[in-house]
Amino acid sequence: MKGHMRQRGAESWELKFDLGRDPTTGKRRTEYRSFRGTKREAQRELSRLLSQAGAGEIVKTRKLTLGALLDKWLHEWALDTLAAKTRERHSELVEKHIRPHLGSVEVAKLTPADLRTLYGRLVRRDDNPTGLAPRTVLHVHRLIHRALKLGAKFGIVAKNPAASLDRSDRPKLDQREIEILSPEDRKTVLDGLRGSALFLPVLVAISTGARRGEILALRWVDIDFDAGTLRIARAVEATKGRLALKDTKTKHGRRVIRLPAVTLAALRAAHAEHLERRLALGLGGRGDDAFVFPGPGEPIGYVLRSPGGLTKDWSRRLASLPVAKVTFHALRHTHASELIAGGVDIVAVSRRLGHSSPTVTLGVYGHLFGDADERAVAVVDRALNAALGGT
């Protein structure tokens, strides 16, 4: 394999190398890459590319478009790493929001400015009220960044323009997206749902901060009534009309949560009813592998309940109550806000919510820690007063 480098600027180089003959046409294939760095670094990069080319790990990319790269990432590279629902959602983002704008742009010509322009077009604002929520645009950025990063790792992409964007140029979350039930609305909701099939899943959501799919995947065996805890290890996922169980998103998602007394008592009562139904049907055993919140059509709890169905039930019942109209996911945010307002430390909040790290928790709820410094100085003030003999 032959290679050549040509200087184009102070620290800018064009790397040219041979990919051998095309097996179909028999013509020699030549690849070009741009590189920024010193001459020695450019020589090392050319050697690396020649080594990859010799091993057949590089394909000709001069005409590779962003759309083609995203297809390769979705259907080849990430096939065994993305959950079915996540891959379905990513495909939707590609088809609706990326391909129409940048799908035909060659990756070699894609710039950070192209990406910044895309995010500006997509995001919802005063002059674009039908645009996407900031969180969705951030998902678009992360998707593109991940595909380009893998492309660079595999030698298909020379650089990752998404990585060149400063934090200030990336899509930002709008903290107004965090919906929370006020204490008054929380009481109204629980009183209004009492006695209905929706009461207990809502109570569990407010009590634990668990996600909708995690709640619907709970089995009776996951609840330790003696210890007063609930174990989360799975979630219900809906893809193209099909329901399935999947493992939690990360190892941190697998967690054991201590339950408030009122929630534990409500679950005890529901479990007693479950056992009574089994006895009435002449079934032996405790049925602890049955779902706590099963779907309709089967009396002893072995049918999965649809997350979308739960959301519809929630929206329908909420519409009849004199409260702010929020999503079911707002119950998770409500739980987190209650913990933060109560002074629970960020690590404990993160673990209870099943976040991969406290950094994720801060990214979502950092604005709720506004009075943390005031609480901190009050603690220090009390300690100093005690040490100095004050009151």
The pLDDT score that the predictor gives to residue 322 is 93
Q: What predicted TM-score, i.e. pTM, was given to this entire model?
A: 0.66
User: Is position 389 within any domain?
Assistant: no
Q: Would you state the pLDDT for residue 251?
A: 76
Whole-number Å distance between alpha carbons of 101 and 195: 50
Domain shared by 124 and 250, yes or no: no
Q: Is residue 212 part of a domain?
A: yes
pLDDT of residue 387: 80
The answer on 210 and 153 residing in a single domain is no
**Longest C-alpha distance within the chain, in Å?**
91
Any domain includes 158: yes
Supply the range of the domain harboring residue 231: 183-369
Q: Compute the average pLDDT of residues 35-48.
A: 86
313 and 199 in a common domain: yes
Residue 146 lies in a domain: yes
Q: Across the strands, what pairs with 291?
A: 219
pLDDT in tens, 140-183: 999 999 999 888 877 677 778 898 888 778 777 665 557 889 89
Residue 386 lies in a domain: no
Residue 38 domain flag = yes
Are 142 and 93 within 8 A, CB to CB? no
pLDDT tens-digit readout, 46-104 = 888 787 776 655 555 557 899 989 998 988 888 777 877 788 889 999 999 999 999 99
On the CB side of 145, CA atoms within 13 Å amount to 15
Rounded Cα–Cα distance for residues 47 and 53 (Å):
10
Q: Please check the confidence at residue 368 and state whether its pLDDT lies above 90.
A: no
Domain tally, the chain: 3
Do both 88 and 45 map to the same domain?
Answer: no
Looking at the domain assignment, is residue 27 inside a domain? yes
Q: How far is CA 266 from CA 80, 204, 218, in A?
A: 40, 9, 15
pLDDT at 67: 92
For residues 200 and 280, state if they share a domain: yes
The span from the CA of 115 to the CA of 128, in Å, is 18
Average pLDDT over residues 130-136: 86
Residue 132 and residue 215 in one domain: no
> In CATH, what number is assigned to the domain containing residue 131?
1.10.150.130
pLDDT reading at 107 higher than 60: yes
Tell me the sheet residues that pair with 256.
Answer: 231
Q: What is the mean pLDDT of the chain?
A: 85
pLDDT at site 184? 93
Same domain as 225, residue 129: no
Nearest to 53, CA basis, from 24, 25, 30: 30
Q: Is the pLDDT confidence value at 192 over 80? A: yes
pLDDT of 374:
66
CA 178 to CA 332: how far, in whole Å?
Answer: 10
Whether 290 and 166 share a structural domain: no
pLDDT of residue 156: 75
Same domain, residue pair 9 and 133: no
- Structural domain includes residue 133: yes
DSSP code at position 156: S
